[in-house]
Amino acid sequence: MPMGAVFAIAATLLLVDKMRRLFDFVAVEGGPVAVVFKMLGALVPEYASLAIPLGLLLGILLAFRKLATTSELDVLRAVGLGYGRLLRVPYFITLILMAINVALVFYVQPVSRYYYEQMEYELRSGALGASIKVGEFTTLADRMALRIEQSEDDGRRLKGIFARVANEKGQVLSISAREGNFLATADSPDTIILRLTDGTIVQDTGGEKQTPRVLSFTRHDLPIDLPRIEEFRDRGDAEREYILPELLRIGWSSEQSQEKRAASQASFNYRLVEVVMMIMLPLLAVALAIPPKRSTSALGVFVSVILVVAYHKVNQYGEDIAALGRVDPIVALWGPFLIFAALILWMYWRVAFVPGGQAIGALESWFAKLSKRLRKLFGRKKRGPQLAPAD
């Protein structure tokens, strides 16, 4: 339960932050609200690849911390069950989650990221039903400006319409109408009809001595040519959109440029090292789960989250510099892995094999002193009983 709860909370927090920005983006582009949830769904695999290791780490950590704070861990150690024996089931769960993460980062995430980019492109280009903003001038087909004062019934009834249409000969039509609505055409999907009711047309022919002509109408159909939407690019514009076989084929192909090979190798090593690091997380969880004796400090929980997130950011930076060809991907990505793995092994050794050893003992001591000073500073002073004055 703790592992599933942490995974759900982490994924939800990441999605909520992205949701706010997507709502702003969709509102600016004038697209439908439903596309926000489709774009969020496309981002779930990307966020899950980070939420799964966090959920695994904190799930194991909270389980061992509960055993330690209730003294059950001491009983298990006393009957001969060492940490290696206790970690068998957590490692079984780790291997299952590693397999899921491999499928996510090498196959599902690249395709979902491409789908997200495609929806963003279609939203910008208007293919997802971008709307005309009420109270603002909207340019259509570079020769028409349209402004609508009010919109009712989800855009089916428009009020206070003004349109200005120009042609190549310099002639200009200024049209104002009381009401109107959009109609689709069966023969031409790239053209819609704006049916206007009760309005006036002012035609300016462009001549200096010619007087503009004015025409009143009860109903007038104005054809509008929609801008042609170009097809979205093929998948593979960025290395993060390649699945595993494509990364291997491009990254080690002599037919590709050096920049392309470096970027593909960096992406491959980044995804691989993120998955392999999960094998060390149970050891890190145990090392940070055991508080000092007669203490219920939860500092290890905080430190574990900081370490995992910081390592993830270091890997992202290593991928960026490796993709530019400045550093070999092995050095940029597997170097931090070896350093972090060595730190985890040392922390686990301190807890498992050193009597009374603590992985973050100095930090726990400093944190305890700081907490005591803060309690003295902000704690309420208890007043003793007041004695009555002597006669």
Neighbours of 374 (CB within 10 A): 10
Q: Mean pLDDT across the stretch 287-298?
A: 77
222: left (phi over 0), alpha (psi -120 to 50) or beta: beta
pLDDT over 70 at 120, yes or no: yes
Cα separation, 156 vs 189, in Å, equals: 18
Quick one: which H or E segment has residue 101? helix 88-103
Please determine, for residue 372, whether its predicted confidence score (pLDDT) is greater than 80: no
Q: Tell me how far CA of residue 318 lies from CA of 48, 236, 324, in angstroms.
A: 21, 21, 10
The pLDDT, as a whole number, for residue 292 is: 74
Q: What is the mean pLDDT of the chain?
A: 81
Sheet holding 157-166, edge to edge: 137-140, 144-152, 157-166, 172-184, 191-204, 213-225
Which tokens is 29 given?
């582009």
Contacts of 31 (CB under 8 A, 6+ apart): 123, 128, 129, 130, 131
Phi and psi torsions of 230, nearest 5°: -75, 150
Per-residue confidence at 125, pLDDT binned at 50, 70, 90? low
pLDDT value of residue 163: 86
Give the mean pLDDT of 269-274. 94
Q: Is 207 exposed, middle or buried, given 0-12, 13-18 or 19+ CB atoms closer than 10 A?
A: exposed
- The pair of structure tokens assigned to 148 is 């609508």
pLDDT at 295: 67
- pLDDT at 250 > cutoff 60: yes
Most confident stretch, 22-31, 136-145, 202-211, 316-325? 316-325
Residue in this structure with the two tokens 């208007």, named with its chain if needed: 126
pTM of full prediction above 0.95: no
Whole-number Å distance between alpha carbons of 330 and 255? 22
Structural tokens at position 310: 């910081």
**Cα Rg of the chain (Å, integer):** 32
Listed in order, strand segments (DSSP E) in 185-320 are: 191-204, 213-225
Rounded to an integer, what distance in angstroms lies between the CA atom of residue 52 and that of residue 14?
13
